[in-house]
Amino acid sequence: MRKIIYLDYQATTPLDPRVRRAMEPYLGEKFGNASSLTHAVGRQAARAVEKARAEVAGLVGADAREIVFTSGATESVNLALKGAARAYREKGRHLITLAIEHKAALDSCKRLETEGFGVTRLGVGRDGCLDARDLKKAIRRDTILVSVMAANNEIGVLQPVAEVAKIARERGILFHSDAAQAVGKIPLDLRALGMDLLSFSAHKICGPKGIGALVVRKREPRVRLLPLIDGGGHESGFRSGTLNVPAIVGFGRACVLAGREMRREAARTARLRNRLRDSLLDRLPDGVVNGSWEHRLPNNLNLSFAGVDAKALMKRLKNIALSSGSACTSTSLEPSYVLKAIGVSEERRRAAIRLSVGRFTTIGEIDRAVEEIVAGVKRMRKVAQVFRQRRIRPSAENLRYV
């Protein structure tokens, strides 16, 4: 069996062997509970956690005391939005976010609406970028929180978070950013940008799954949150529960490596991504890139090929791991809500594939992937032509005709 070409780094990343080695002692002989400070075994675990906390904070320009460990970015986003909204509800009950946010933010906002909060979901341009003027118009006297992602998980578009933070700060409004896709790929400095809350996850930067962080600003202003989980007051009272020491240690190591190698890796992955785009569009010139090319993560490519059903195409590309959108909505049969929000037609939405490269992607894999994708698209177009003649709609469900 040929080795799978992994081009789905925005869904998750392989665990870096250097991260695994850092974690291994804490899966074995260093098994202590970091809250058990009455003996050496527990204190050893606590020291490892605090070292990792400083390493995680260092990647995003935060203070170690501002790091709250969670189970991942989804929990971090939930804690940021629900925790802040409930803590500040006497000040106001209005939140602003984007229509193209990750489901963690959108579904959290839906939940808050059932509790009496109002939510404004701002649209974006055809390039996927927020116009800051729309944000200014949407702010009300009772607005308490703005949540805008740093980078989109489907089209990789970067939002003007520095400008958003400035607007929020001038109005005395809290600003949260879901940075799960951005951290480790582009420089982010919470203090310099003026963010109050920042969510991200280890498994997007070649760290372990099941561990994430929420940065909660401690001064100018000190941000208050009501916890989602009670029971022991761990993590400064924001998130109770026994700490996952091996994963936290791995998270810290992953952040150190990402910070050290970010500039070089961003340049390398951008070259690979550009080679992938140029080669595909050279062979399939009617392909269309979805979202802004100028304001984009260095490793993301979202393309639509006319006359192709993306889900059917992916079933044919058995040697390539890719997606048609967010991993968190992969069970949905509907075309991408993100692409719909930027004005992409239904046909193009159904034809869209997301390709993302990363730390272990090679030039050889890019070239192999191009060959297989081109062959797959051409084959699907021939099949689609036959289906049209027979008045059958091409889709993943009727692949038995292929």
CB 43 within 8 A of CB 202: no
From 109, 129, 206, 328, the catalytic residue: 328
| Cα 147 off chain centre by | 14
Instruction: Give the whole-angstrom CA distance, residue 373 versus residue 366.
Output: 10
Beta-carbon contacts of 291 under 8 Å, excluding residues fewer than 6 positions away, are 127, 128, 152, 155, 156, 157, 302, 342
For residue 243, what are its two tokens? 């700490």
DSSP E strands, 34-93: 67-70
Active site residue 109: no
Beta-carbon contacts of 320 under 8 Å, excluding residues fewer than 6 positions away, are 4, 5, 7, 369, 372, 373
Instruction: Give the whole-angstrom CA distance, residue 197 versus residue 213.
Output: 10
Main-chain dihedrals φ then ψ at residue 74, nearest 5 degrees? -60, -45
Residues taking part in catalysis: 328
